[in-house]
Structure 1
Amino acid sequence: MKKTLALLLALSVCATAFVGCGGNADSSAKAENSAANSAESSAEAPAESTPEEAESTAETAETPADDSLSAQLLAQYPVNDGAYDFTKGATENMLGRSLLYRGDTSRLAAKLQRAVDDPKAITNICYLGDSITAGSGATGSAKQYTNLINAWWEENMGYYVLGTNAGIGATDSYCAVHRASRDVPEESDIIFIEFINDQDNELYQSTMDSLVRQCLAMETQPAVIIIEPSTEGGGSPQNAHLKVAQTYDIPFISYHDAIIPEIDAGNFQWKDTSNDNVHPNDAGHAVMAQCVLNLFEQVKENLENENKEVTPFDPAAVESPTGDKFAGASLGSMDTPETVEVVDAGTFTKRIQFANFNGGWGSESGGSATFKINCKNLGMLYLKNIKGDFGQVAVKVDDNEPVIIDGDFPGGWGNYAKADEIFSSDEAAEHTVTVEFISGDDKPNFQILNWLIS
């Protein structure tokens, strides 16, 4: 199986050889040094997106500022001189641009060294992301970027890879920071984070910040790597995500920067990379895997000289630029009465399961429900439904102004789990939370999939 998967990757990129296939308290200084290294020495909203989500991810400018890392790497690794067949894989310059920020690779080097020393050791690789990570756009599992990476590891590093695909379509890092403790295995050696559904704003810098801190603090000292895809037109939350990577000096791989300059130059078209407005097709998944393996190969080829001494991440000693707003985040459901007390279920008596979320509350007759939740921040994960009979609810925390949530998604591409922030404060306290229908009798349905608690 491993040779078959590796062959598929090789076939996908047959015309291009891999090039140089390659936080702590003083992270600011390290970030500056790593930024210079990236620029000077690197080989260096889903088809499920709602219209507003697709638009929001397009907030990032397509053309990088002259002093940005993207601009520096574009100058160093310019676009192809003329048309290029994307199905042949990434050019060396595309791979050079994709390693937007190399960061501290000591954790990755340590994992690679362990595999060299003991090829039979199990390497746990977790992919935490949205529909792209889940495999959307690929025609089969063997062609997903996640499995192409797993296959390379088995072929080149160690016999045993335990790959965990924690991708859930249409989700973002706001949802992910709450589900990571459930979905990222404690044994993880390498963790990839990919969320094109984020927006380029402070909220998503905060969610990615807390998510990365949570992963870095794991006992296995995993290598944490951010992957940045793109929407059609070049939209991505890259600016917000890159700030987090630089803060904690972790690698940042930009599929966005690999392909968008080529598309802007007319060397190939978006339709060559994707069959919709977001998801990579087979060739796109192969190039995304190439971008990751470019870093792996760089570190592997220089493994003898790479720093492999890993400094444990101490959250108390490393300041969060966003205040680690979502520290200790978790999901609340019927199965966690210690975090969510149902004061009055009212009409929300139906047990709900959707995708990877269990123990939610559903109503099919309007009405209301009341909960007590101890939290500092609160969000709701709810179902967006295409049937046309899902209504609006008012969610009220204590005596604060209610937040209106609309479960209706008529004519949409499909049902999906949507996460909305409801309440935020500086101190944790017990709060009374009411959910009450405000739509008419023709829309009597609503489903709370989980509460997002931190």
Structure 2
Amino acid sequence: MLTRSVLNEGDTSRLASKIKEALDVANDDSLEVAQKTEKATKVAFLGDSITAGSAASSSQNQYTKQFISWWEENISYFVVGTNAGIGATDSYLAVHRVDSEVLADNPDIIFIEFINDSDNDFYKTTMDSLIRKCLAQPNNPAVILVEMTMEDGTCPQNVHSEIGEYYNVPIISYHDAVLPEVEAGNIKWTDISPDNIHPNDDGHKMLAQMLENFVGGIKDNIDSVDTEAKAFDTSIESPTGDKYADAALEDKNSKIVTVKDAGDFTEQTSPWNFQDGWAASNGGSVTFEMEFKNLGMLYYKTVDGKSGSATVTIDGVECAEINADFTGGWGDYACNNEIVSFDEKGKHEVTVTVPEGKKFEILRWMIS
């Protein structure tokens, strides 16, 4: 099973470089503990609810925490893990938030996991720009894709692996490792998941073991593998056009989004991790001026029946209807929609209108 989990070994030189640096720091007796702490390896996990730890009985049972514990015991105690997992999100949101939530901290190793993506060209494009952003960082982080699966095998592994293999990054596949065991009757899906997608404690343990097996194999052969971390060659052509190269999330503090008329959108947004947006509780409209080529919206879907649909008008032309009502759903969550893409970047006037009596929360504008 562990052998099958390695979908693509890829170029491991960056990962080997980070492992060697960690080992060198740990074994350097000339360094004080404080100095070693300053040189701690930074490991970031970027993903959705699985990475956030959904269905694990405690934080310590999440695959992310298990991997960090393994690193402490087998490579170096001096390691810092960052969990940038947000439930119900995808790589479209990730390519907009990765700069501020992950790359700003200069991680040494980045694991990327998004089962919520679909197997289509849109998510091939978002994953392309996401991986390029990570690989292009000046500290040459190791980037590793983690491919999960639903019970019936549904997953975005095909499009993700096209991009991952194009850039020759390692790909670890829970899908390829686990499903053959289920089909052979060696394990039951219900043994590793309480639903059709999220790993339980045993599932998280299996995923952690897959990552540990891959990284441990490089560590065990560190004296014979390539440990020279090479800078990303930005002249390498993007297979999808790198549509989201400069993607970012913009809120009230943005320098490129100006509120021309706040109208009824004067209230604070609800989610703790997406404050400083624009919200209205009784309908109304708000008008912005902003510069973009591609525009999306991150908004709040709610189950209370009070949220309505918003009409988005750009330069006087109605472009989208965005429904924030999730009555009867599993819970409130931050959802995103791409609204429009133009051939060239330019300044535009954007108006959002919500029917009277309905609430609506614009958490962020997604601009590239």
Give the shorter-chain TM-score range: over 0.9
Q: CA deviation at 1:314?
A: 3.4
Provide the secondary structure at the position in 2 that maps to 1:359: coil
Tell me the matched-pair count.
356
Gapped runs of 5+ residues in structure 2?
27-35
Matching of residue 381 in structure 1 with residue 298 in structure 2:
yes
1:286 to 192, 197, 205: 205
The root-mean-square deviation of aligned C-alpha atoms, in Å, is 1.2
Gapped runs of 5+ residues in structure 1?
1-93
Q: Check the 8 A contact 2:13/2:226 in 1, yes or no.
A: yes
After superposition, the C-alpha distances for 1:208-257 in whole angstroms (9 at most, x for unaligned) are: 11111111111211100010111121110001110110111100000011
* Letter paired with 1:262: E
| Structure 2 match to 1:397 | 314
Matching of residue 335 in structure 1 with residue 223 in structure 2:
no
1:276 to 169, 190, 195: 195
Q: In 1, distance between residues paired with 2:183 and 2:341? A: 40
Q: In 2, distance between residues paired with 1:374 and 1:113? A: 44
| Structure 2 match to 1:229 | 148
| Structure 2 match to 1:200 | 119
1:139 to 52, 57, 60: 57
Matching of residue 345 in structure 1 with residue 259 in structure 2:
no
Q: CA deviation at 1:151?
A: 0.6
Provide the secondary structure at the position in 2 that maps to 1:198: coil
| Structure 2 match to 1:176 | 94
Q: CA deviation at 1:353?
A: 4.0
Q: In 1, distance between residues paired with 2:176 and 2:332? A: 31
Q: In 2, distance between residues paired with 1:424 and 1:355? A: 29
Q: Check the 8 A contact 1:353/1:359 in 2, yes or no.
A: no
Report the TM-score, using the length of structure 2 for normalisation. 0.94
Percent identity, aligned pairs only, is: 51
Q: CA 1:374–1:103 in structure 2 vs 1: closer, same or farther (change >3 Å)?
A: same
| Structure 1 match to 2:85 | 167
After superposition, the C-alpha distances for 1:147-166 in whole angstroms (9 at most, x for unaligned) are: 11101111111121111110
| Structure 2 match to 1:43 | none
Q: In 1, distance between residues paired with 2:8 and 2:328? A: 40
2:164 to 237, 245, 248: 245
* Letter paired with 1:452: M
Q: CA deviation at 1:351?
A: 2.1
Q: CA deviation at 1:366?
A: 0.9
Q: Check the 8 A contact 1:124/1:164 in 2, yes or no.
A: yes
Q: In 2, distance between residues paired with 1:96 and 1:199? A: 26
Q: Check the 8 A contact 1:397/1:423 in 2, yes or no.
A: no
Q: Check the 8 A contact 2:311/2:318 in 1, yes or no.
A: no
Q: How does 1:306-325 map to 2 (within 5 A)?
A: 306-315=225-234, 317-325=235-243
Q: CA deviation at 1:357?
A: 1.4
* Letter paired with 1:333: D
After superposition, the C-alpha distances for 1:253-292 in whole angstroms (9 at most, x for unaligned) are: 0001111122122322211111112110000000001111
Report the TM-score, using the length of structure 1 for normalisation. 0.77
| Structure 2 match to 1:450 | 364
Q: Check the 8 A contact 1:101/1:251 in 2, yes or no.
A: yes
Q: Check the 8 A contact 1:186/1:218 in 2, yes or no.
A: no
Q: In 1, distance between residues paired with 2:166 and 2:272? A: 33
* Letter paired with 1:95: L
| Structure 2 match to 1:99 | 6
* Letter paired with 2:212: L
Q: Check the 8 A contact 1:390/1:444 in 2, yes or no.
A: yes
| Structure 1 match to 2:224 | 305
Q: CA deviation at 1:334?
A: 0.6
